[in-house]
Amino acid sequence: MSRKISPLALGGASLGGVYHPVPQAQADAVVAAALDAGVNLIDVAPYYGLTKAETALGVALRGVPRDAYGLMTKIGRYGDKAWDFSREATLRSLDDSRARLGVEFIDVLQCHDIEHGDRRQLVDEALPTLRALKAQGAIGQVGITGYDLALLEEIAVAEQVDTVMAYCTYTLQDQRLGEVAQRLAAHGITVFNASPLGMGLLTAGGPPDWHPGHESVHAAAAEAARRCTELGADLSFVALQFALQTADEAGIASTVIGMSKPENLRQNLKALTTPIDPAVLAVVQAALAPVRDLGWDVLPGNGGKAGA
């Protein structure tokens, strides 16, 4: 992307009703507030709410000058267990996304959750198709997303992609993306940290029912939230202070946060600059220490269901 990316990006999964239903007026309000506040990068996917998020975002972006924001969407994932990295599906998906979003140009088109799709199709069909679209000027950059950091790194370097988005792996609970991001950044690859709240894990309300983490991870996060409340602090705020304020040194270009409520956006923007209270951070880190870096690839929970 030619523009300077904002350190906080708006994640579109929430707009698809992944966490709770979101009326269009609320989607309009959060998108407008984000753009007003200087957030200039939005991530979405056909999978979020099975096209609902792209449709809602398209409505919210009507009339906004196209150069006011960078737009990232995805190809390849079309249902809870539906991946298709074929050339035909990739081209069709891009056309459908453009129509829903009401734009011609997609700044970053990403292969969604690469660890679940067919690797041969990914490498022989989806990625060459995206590279050709980039050469034609239909998209700006080629990206991959997912949870499996080793696979993301291997494919990113071998296929010389422009961007990598990993999720739930640079949070107060799991920081495994940190060293991977530094290596990727050294290759000139732009790294996005998605789900810095661990898909709702590090919030006072706790994760949604479908969250794939182990119950011991959920219990530790609930304890961290309780201790924060005792100290008059908010776990989400501390979690975002950590993710946003240490992103640079970790090699992360932008942190992609799901927000459907303007008040959450306002709070999260404050977390960019409010100095971390070391006493609160220490208490949260102590509560999370027993489950540090225990992602669901290490310690599966909830039937191992895949997330956003």
Ligand X SMILES: NC(=O)c1ccc[n+]([C@@H]2O[C@H](COP(=O)([O-])OP(=O)(O)OC[C@H]3O[C@@H](n4cnc5c(N)ncnc54)[C@H](OP(=O)(O)O)[C@@H]3O)[C@@H](O)[C@H]2O)c1
The Cα 25–Cα 107 span in angstroms is 25
Nearer to ligand X, 78 or 167 (CB): 167
Question: What are the distances in angstroms from CA 71 to CA 108, 126, 158, 216?
Answer: 7, 19, 25, 36
Active-site position among 19, 47, 48, 69: 48
Nearest to 223 by CA among 176, 177, 277, 283: 283
Active-site annotation holds for 48: yes
User: Smallest gap, in angstroms, from Cβ of residue 52 to ligand X?
Assistant: 13
CA proximity to 26, closest of 69, 49, 55, 56: 56
| Residue 266 CB, nearest approach to ligand X (Å) | 9
Q: How far is the CB of 213 from ligand X (least distance, A)?
A: 12
Residues that bind ligand X (CB under 6 A): 11-14, 19, 43, 112-113, 145-146, 165, 167, 194-200, 203, 236, 256-261, 264, 267-268, 308
Closer to ligand X by CB, 86 or 254: give it.
254
3-state helix, strand and coil shares in percent for the chain, rounded to the nearest 5:
45, 15, 40
- Min CB(248)–ligand X separation in Å: 19
Q: Which residue is nearest to ligand X (CB)?
A: 258
Write the DSSP symbol of residue 164: E
Q: Which is nearer to ligand X, 3 or 20 (CB)?
A: 20
Q: Where are the beta strands (DSSP E) in the chain?
A: 8-11, 41-43, 70-75, 77-79, 82-83, 106-111, 139-146, 163-167, 190-194, 254-258
CA dihedral 253, 46, 2, 193 (to 10 degrees): 0
Quote the Cα angle for 296-121-308, to 5°: 30
Please, what is the minimum distance in Å from the beta carbon of residue 100 to ligand X? 15
Report which residue type is found at 255. Answer: T
**Closer to ligand X at the Cβ: 93 or 203?**
203
Residue 172 · residue 239 · CB < 8 Å: yes
Encoded tokens for 195? 């789900």
Nearer of residues 97 and 260 to ligand X, judged by Cβ: 260
Q: Closest Cα partner for 300 from 216, 226, 236, 212?
A: 212
C-beta of 197: minimal distance to ligand X in Å? Answer: 3
- Looking at the Cβ atoms of 121 and 136, the one nearer to ligand X is 121
Residues annotated catalytic, as ranges = 48
